[in-house]
């Protein structure tokens, strides 16, 4: 994945910042792992917000998830 440019910082409900797309692993970006700690979300994942970014004309926004590991 290429580096995101013009990334906007978004925050989740608890006030934690959601990293921009360029700082996430592929599994975090795809919603398979916790956005903050990277633990695989085999069960118990919950939506916490949207990671926002752009790479030129391409919008890289994607929903992100956290597990019970990160309240």
Instruction: For the chain, give every domain's residue range.
Output: 10-66
Between 64 and 43, the more confident residue is: 64
- Mean pLDDT on 26-36: 96
C-alpha to C-alpha distance for 69 and 51, rounded to whole angstroms: 19
The mean predicted confidence, pLDDT, of the chain is 88
Question: What would the pLDDT profile of 46-59 be if each residue is shown by its tens digit?
Answer: 999 999 999 999 99
- How does residue 17 score in pLDDT terms, banded at 50, 70 and 90? very high
Q: How many CB atoms lie within 10 A of CB 39?
A: 15
Rounded CA separation 44/23 (Å): 23
Instruction: Look at residues 58, 59, 66, 57 and name the one whose alpha carbon lies nearest to residue 17.
Output: 66
């Amino acid at each position: 994945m290429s580096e995101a440019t013009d990334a906007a910082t978004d925050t989740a409900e608890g006030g934690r910042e959601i990293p921009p797309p360029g700082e996430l692993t592929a599994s975090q970006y795809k919603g398979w792992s916790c956005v903050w700690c990277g633990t695989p979300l085999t069960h118990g994942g919950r939506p916490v917000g949207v990671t926002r970014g752009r790479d030129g004309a391409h919008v890289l926004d994607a929903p992100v998830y956290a597990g019970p590991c990160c309240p």
